[in-house]
Structure formats: structure tokens, C-alpha cells
Amino acid sequence: LETIKLGFCSDDHNVGCIDIERKALLKVTQGLTDPSGQLSSWVGEDCCKWSGVGCNNITGRVNRLDLGNRDGYEENGFDGEINPSLLVLKDLEYLDLGMNNFGGVQLPSFIGSLEKLKYLNLSGLYFVGVILPNLGNLSMLLYLDLKSHETLETDLQWLTTLSSLKYLNLGGVNLTKTTSYWLPTVNMLPSLVELYLPSCSLPMLPLTLPSIKFTSLLVLDRYGNEFNSTIPPWLFNLTKL
């Protein structure tokens, strides 16, 4: 599921990009330092040809923005802040900002207004504070990675509206506020295939779960949390694990 196919096209497009979207992307660069030169291709009128940008091949609208730090080395990642000009990209379905250096601030609230997103990777960004509940507005999400460095916390209430979610990674996010209901909440995600919750300060798995809805689950990672001395019986009903 690391590469969910969403039908993007950045090379064989028939029309150039929309001017207002090109200007919005340029505003994004104004708040960033780019030590690896990843944005050096962001010149010219057709933003659909820029590195990391994908466009719909019929409308020319930007539907993909991949600014993730591929090699994972901190010194090669972007520094700065994420500009809310991203909101101009009304058809954005794929956003990857993972492993950059946007730390020390809260996760930007405007992310929750990008309601066409299907893929969102904000892993390893050192955001602090509480994950805002407006992420629950992203009801089309298939893939969500918020893996942190133990600087984020959440109550998970916003998760219940993301019923199409297939991949969820909350590794390192502090879930101590959810100890009594995290499992029933996750159980409300019937499409979930991969669930990663390592080092989330979770208690042992409850021995009972009245009904199991997340039966598509293939991967469950709870490494670094409390472990049961016996396996809860309901786990045996997850036959794809």
C-alpha cells in the first residue's frame, strides 16, 4: 500500500497547468529552504513538468504534490513552514511532505480543508501538540501516515469518519487519552488493511471485542506498547493477519 495508485499523470498531459495553481506552488517555495535543490526544476510556465508535481491530463489541475525527503537524511530535507497557499489546489489528491524539517509547530489546521486528499504523508515532521480534529474532514483518505517522534498526541475521535482508510500509521503518537476506546474506534474502519501503532503508550489489548468490523486487516503493529500474557480470542477472527 506504500504506492496507492490514484491515476496521476505528470508527463503525458494534454494541457498546461492552471496559472493560479502555478502561483500557489511558487508561494509554497517562498517559505522553504531547499538544501538538496529539489525545487530547481520549478521554473517555466508549465508547473505540470516540475519535479514532484502531477496534474490531471485533461483539466491540467494539480492533483499530486510529492515533496517528501526520499533519502531520509535530515540535512537534505526542506526547512521552513508549509504555506496555506496549498488550499488553492482544489483537486489535490496526493500530498507527501514526509521526513522534512517542519518541526516545533503544530500540524497546520488547513490540511484538514484539502478534502479531496486520498494519500497524506506527514511522517517524521516533528510537529508538536494535538492532532486537530478537522483531519476527520478528509473522508476520501485511503492512506494516512502521521508517524511522529513522540511530540504529537490525539484522542482519535476524528478517525471515525475516515471509513475508506486502508493504511494508517500513528507510530510514536501519544495515545494515552484513548486507552479505553482506541480499539473500538479503529474497529470502525472496515477497509483498514495495515495498522501501525508502535510506541503509542497503549495498554494491553482488551480480552473481548463484541463485534469485529476491520476484518480486512493484514498488518497490526503494536511494538513498544504493553503486551498481553495471553492472546485475546477475538484476534483469531482476524484471519488475514
pLDDT tens-digit readout, 186-218? 999 999 999 999 999 998 888 888 889 999 999
**What's the grid cell of residue 223?**
511494538
Task: Specify burial of residue 161 (Cβ count, 10 A radius: 0-12, 13-18, 19+).
Answer: middle
Q: Which grid cell is 68?
A: 517528501
CB 195 within 8 A of CB 221: yes
Would you mind telling me the total number of residues written for the chain in this entry?
A: 241
> Are the C-beta atoms of residues 134 and 159 closer than 8 Å to each other?
no
The answer to whether the CB of 141 falls within 8 A of the CB of 117 is yes
CATH of domain 19-181: 3.80.10.10
Confidence band for 165, pLDDT divided at 50, 70 and 90? very high
The two beta strands, 119-121 and 129-130, are unpaired
What residues form DSSP beta bridges with 119? Answer: 94, 143
Quick one: pLDDT at residue 45?
Answer: 94
- Tell me the per-residue pLDDT of 20-65, one tens digit each, with 9 for 90 and over: 999 999 999 998 999 999 999 999 999 999 999 999 999 999 999 9
pLDDT band at 9 (very low <50, low <70, confident <90, very high): very low
Instruction: Tell me the sheet residues that pair with 219.
Output: 194
Q: What is the pLDDT of residue 67?
A: 95
Report the alpha-carbon distance of residue 193 to residue 174 in Å, rounded.
22
The predicted structure's pLDDT at residue 10: 46
- At residue 224 the predicted structure's pLDDT band, cuts being 50, 70 and 90, is very high
CA distance 113 to 3: 23
pLDDT computed for residue 237 by the predictor: 87
Compute the mean pLDDT over every residue in the chain, rounded to the nearest whole number.
Answer: 89
In contact, 122 and 145? CB cutoff 8 Å = yes
- Predicted confidence (pLDDT) at residue 14 exceeds the cutoff of 60: no
Q: Looking at the predicted structure, is the pLDDT value of residue 13 above 80?
A: no
pLDDT above 50 for 8:
no
* Domain definitions of the chain by residue range: 19-181
Residue the block writes with cell 530535507:
77
Q: What is the pLDDT of residue 203?
A: 86
